[in-house]
Each structure stands twice: as structure tokens, then as C-alpha cells.
Amino acid sequence: MGINEIRAAIEGGRARLGVEFGSTRIKAVLIDEAGTPIAQGAHDWENQLVNNIWTYDLKDVITGLQDCYADMVRDVKAKYGCGVKKLAAMGFSAMMHGYIVFNEKDELLVPFRTWRNTITGEAAEKLTGLFNFNIPQRWSIAHLYQAILNGESHVPDIRFMTTLEGFVHWKLTGKKVLGIGEGSGMFPIDSATNDFNQEMVEKFDALVADKGFPWKLRDILPTVLVAGENAGTLTEAGAKLLDVSGELEAGIPLCPPEGDAQTGMVATNSVRQRTGNVSAGTSIFAMIVLEKALSKVRPELETITTPSGAQVAMVHCNNCTSDLNAWVKLFGEFAEAAGVKLDANTLYGTLYRKAMEADGDLGDVMAYNYYSGEHITGFTEGRPLFVRTPESRFTLANFMRAHLNAAFASLKIGMDILTEEEGALVDSIMGHGGIFKTKGVAQPIMAAALNAPVSVMETAGEGGAWGIALLAAYMADAKDGLTLEDYLDQRIFAGMPKETVAPDPQAAKDFNAYIARFKAALPVEKAAVECVKL
């Protein structure tokens, strides 16, 4: 579309808006009717550690939202010479999990407890046993039960419990709802009913019955909705809250607010069964859409859902590129000391491509990238290590490949549990993150590690704000009976270029052998944790 056509779409109220609250940035993306981003806005922010609780002030949530929206409007005016009065649809997304509770007067009872807090270990363990379902510490129900175990005085006064995007959606629409995917990070979902698991709800109510609370769990949980359902409209008060200029009109329909995991699935077109996506950065995690539920509780695997309610297994690892980046930085310092100034693309590209010349057995060198603990392999702390024998073939290629392999090692171990022990099938995986920027390196390594085709699309970089904008578009469009999966395939991603790398059989065999050596030498990492004290 040309500038005049885009301006006409904006002025005609046909654009759609998505806003996502990330850990360090609030981002807004405005899209046209084809799903193409046409304007953006952003607001930087940071969490705070208050009384040993990681939190964001809810006042900062609102002012950050307002600034992000205003920044998007400025972008529209700069590019197209018009304002934003009407929208076809909008949606909100945020970091999953956490704990936000209000009393009957809609007053916040305790500061927002984010996903980052690890203060619910006792509750998570007990609920996992009660439900026979893995309840991570981040989940809202773990926070609620831990508050009960702690005897916190606010618990009897709770009348509504939600998450960050649920709070924003409530303030703008008056509706206490969540998308089913975000709901699956509050409490387990029954995919047969697309609702919270009633049997588990009853178990929880029975567990706390002796406390005499004036509420049952259903009383304080939001209503969950699936993709495509209308989740309310922007009220007059909501419009004034979002757009302090007063230009935006009320009555805009909103899609169900969703979590960042779900918007990431949408942004990578990974919502169909047997598809998945891997996000690789400081940490690394894979989300695979399942054909059937897990056979039993797997501490290494979390179960959430897509925005349509299909079950998803998540393999989350704390460590990915931190150690790799540290070594690249060291080589950069050496180059600069030798009088050679290399930009980041040249430095990373040179070292990454050299890794592809490595021996199949990596010359018997081994790297552990554990900056922090790794639950997949049973570590609560980590120590970055590089290990070799006097006979190892210590070359730059083997050195770099060992560190690149290490970035995917823990993910591989978790994924093997999913595919080999649970029998989950994976037809395709979408990769996104900076590690894939150098073409022909991380992509084939991950394909070999997971023994599945790995694709990379440029649009994945648009992120979750684009993903929630697409969910808003899916709700607003005449879908002709299309499922979300078909809508994304046919209306958004059809013909969109992507690069796909199939696993090389020999490389996959080599990676399996590498993982066997990696597991066998884990006692070395354990000894380092025990002997090298921080």
C-alpha cells in the first residue's frame, strides 16, 4: 500500500492496534488490513525490587501505556500526516504470569508480583502434587496459594485476581477477561472445554476450605476467551485513559488479552499442531503445539495453550547466549588490541562462520554455558566452563562450535524428553532471536540438535505487539469460518518469504554424540558449582 492508501485506511478506522508490555519496553504496532505494520510506538521501563519483590507500579503501567500510544500517534502523523480517531480493533499483551489482586472497591491489595519472583516454591510443589500437573512458581495460582500459606492478611479481601494485560484490558473496557493462553499461565486449562480445569478448581477450593475465605476460586478468576471472540469495547473512560489528547473515539472492539508466549506463537505462525517456535537470547525456550496431553507430570516441561486453546509444551532454559557473547567480546578486545577495529556484525559473523569448519566430534572439547542454574539438568547455580584434554584438537573452529552447541544443549535435553519419552511429533520449528542473524550457522545447528526443519522469517522480529495486533485483526475480520491456524496461513503468512533448513543426518548424529558427552561430563559442572564460590 502507498502512503495515500495507508492514510485513507487510518482515517477510515480500518487499522488495527496491538500493544505489548515487555520486561524493558512497552511496544505498540499499528497494522493495515493485510496485517502489515504501518506505524510503531514505544516506551522504555524497568521493573523494581521493592521489599524483595520484583514489581512494576501500576501507575507506571498506565503512564507507560499512554506514552507508548502517543509515540505511535506521533509516528502516524510524521509518516502519513493524519491522526488516529478510530480503529477497527485493538488488543493488549504482556509478560505472562504474576499476581495482581483487588478488593471489592477495586483497590490494589499488594504490589504487583511479576513472573520474575521465585518466592512460591512451597506452593508450587504442593499444587503440582495435588493436581498431578506441573505448576511453575511463576503461575498466578502458585502466588495465591503461597500468600495463603504465608498467612498474608490481604487474602480474605480478594475479589479479583488477574495478570498485567488483564489489568490493562479491564481498565479500558470494564471486562474481567483473559485470553485462554494467558489464562493457562494462571491456572491449568481443560482444552476439551476451553476453560479452567473444573476438577482442579474443586480440588483447590477443598484444599483451602478450612480457611473460611468469603470467596471460591471461580469468584476471583477472570473469564477466559478464545481467539476470535469479542472481549468488549473501549469505553469512554477507557478512550480518555489511553489517549490523553482525547482524539481517540470509544466503541473500538478488543480481542482477548493474551500473554507474550501466545503472541510469539502468532508472530511466528506457530499455532498449528506439530509446529513450534524457539526464542533464543539470554535464555532459550521452545513451545511445541501438542496433538495430545503429556502422559504424566514432567518437571522439565510446562503446559500452556495457544490462543485457540490447543495444548502447548514449553521447554524453558535459563542459559543460551551469555557465555557465547562473553567469548565473542573477548576476541573483539584482542582484535582491537592488535589494531583491528571490527564492528559487531563482522566480529560475530567471522567467529560464527568459523564454527562451521569444526570437526564432527568438536575435537573432544566441551563448553558449559551455565551462567545461572538450569532446572533441565538439575542445577540451581551455574559456572561457565570450557573443558579439554591434552589430546583435544583445540582449534578456533572447534572452540566456537562447542560454545554454539552449548547454547542449544539444555534445550536439546528438554526437547528429547518431549519427543522421545512423550512421543510428540514436530513438523516445523520457527527460530527467532539474535543468534540467527548470521545466516547458515545457528539455524542448521539447531536443526541438527532438534532433528527438525528450522525456519526463520524477517517478520518474527516485529515481536509480540505485532502478534496481538494480528489477534485483534482475526477477531475483527470476516473470517469465513477460518480457524486461527488457517487465517494466519492464508491471510497473513501466505507467500511471506522464509528460509528453511532441514536437519543434516550426519550433523544430527554428531549432535546426539555431543549431547551424550555433555551429559557424561555434567559432574564437572557440578564440581565447579561446589568448589568455585561466588
- SS3 of 25-92: the string is EEEEEEECCCCCEEEEEEEECCCEEECCEEECCHHHHHHHHHHHHHHHHHHHHHHHCCCCCCCCEEEE
Task: Assess if residue 352 is contained within a domain.
Answer: yes
pTM: 0.88
Question: Residue 214, SS3?
Answer: coil
Strand 284-289 relative to strand 311-317, pairing: antiparallel
Over the stretch 321-373, which tens digit does the pLDDT of each residue have? 999 999 999 999 999 999 999 999 999 999 999 999 999 999 999 999 999 88
Task: Assess if residue 410 is contained within a domain.
Answer: yes
Task: Assess if residue 50 is contained within a domain.
Answer: no
Confidence (pLDDT) at 206: 98
Query: Is the pLDDT score of 32 beyond 90?
Result: yes
As a whole-number percent, the residues of the chain with pLDDT over 90 amount to 87
| Average pLDDT value for the chain | 95
Q: Of 357 and 381, which is predicted with more confidence?
A: 357
How far is the C-alpha of 481 from the C-alpha of 462, rounded, in Å?
Answer: 27
Question: Residue 285, SS3?
Answer: strand
Q: How confident is the model at residue 432 (pLDDT cuts 50, 70, 90)?
A: confident
Residue 108, strand partner residues: 102
How far is the C-alpha of 254 from the C-alpha of 243, rounded, in Å?
Answer: 16
What's the length of the chain? 534
Whole-Å CA distances, 276 to 128, 199, 268, 411, 424: 25, 29, 9, 13, 11
Q: How confident is the model at residue 462 (pLDDT cuts 50, 70, 90)?
A: low
Residue spans of alpha helices (H) in 301-371: 322-337, 344-355
Query: Is the pLDDT score of 390 beyond 90?
Result: yes
Which residue range(s) make up the domain with 345?
A: 270-456+504-534
Query: Minimal CA–CA distance to 499: which of 447, 462, 425?
Result: 447
Confidence (pLDDT) at 459: 59
Over the stretch 42-58, which tens digit does the pLDDT of each residue have? 999 999 999 989 999 99
Task: Assess if residue 236 is contained within a domain.
Answer: no
The C-alpha cell that represents 385 in the structure block: 566452563
Confidence (pLDDT) at 141: 98
Query: Is the pLDDT score of 213 beyond 60?
Result: yes
Number of domains comprising the chain: 1
Query: Minimal CA–CA distance to 267: which of 17, 26, 493?
Result: 493
Query: Is the pLDDT score of 173 beyond 80?
Result: yes
Confidence (pLDDT) at 247: 97
For residues 302 and 316, the answer to whether their CB atoms sit within 8 Å is: yes
Q: How confident is the model at residue 534 (pLDDT cuts 50, 70, 90)?
A: low
Task: Assess if residue 440 is contained within a domain.
Answer: yes
Query: Is the pLDDT score of 155 beyond 60?
Result: yes
How far is the C-alpha of 39 from the C-alpha of 27, rounded, in Å?
Answer: 11
For residues 414 and 300, the answer to whether their CB atoms sit within 8 Å is: yes
Query: Minimal CA–CA distance to 97: which of 151, 45, 141?
Result: 141
Question: Residue 480, SS3?
Answer: coil
Task: Assess if residue 88 is contained within a domain.
Answer: no
Query: Is the pLDDT score of 184 beyond 70?
Result: yes
Which residue's entry shows cell 473444573?
A: 198
User: Roughly how many angstroms between the first and final C-alpha of the chain, as a whole number?
Assistant: 56
Over the stretch 225-249, which tens digit does the pLDDT of each residue have? 999 999 999 999 999 999 999 999 9
Task: Assess if residue 380 is contained within a domain.
Answer: yes
For residues 382 and 488, the answer to whether their CB atoms sit within 8 Å is: no
Angle at the Cα of 383 (from 382 to 389), degrees rounded to 5? Answer: 130
The CATH number assigned to the domain holding 519 equals 3.30.420.40
**C-alpha Rg value of the chain to the nearest Å:** 24
How far is the C-alpha of 267 from the C-alpha of 430, rounded, in Å?
Answer: 10
Which residue's entry shows cell 525456550?
A: 285
Task: Assess if residue 361 is contained within a domain.
Answer: yes
Query: Is the pLDDT score of 495 beyond 70?
Result: yes
Q: How far is CA 412 from the centre of its chain?
A: 18
Question: Residue 443, SS3?
Answer: helix
- The half-sphere exposure of 244 on its side-chain side, counting CA atoms within 13 A, is 10
The C-alpha cell that represents 15 in the structure block: 487499522
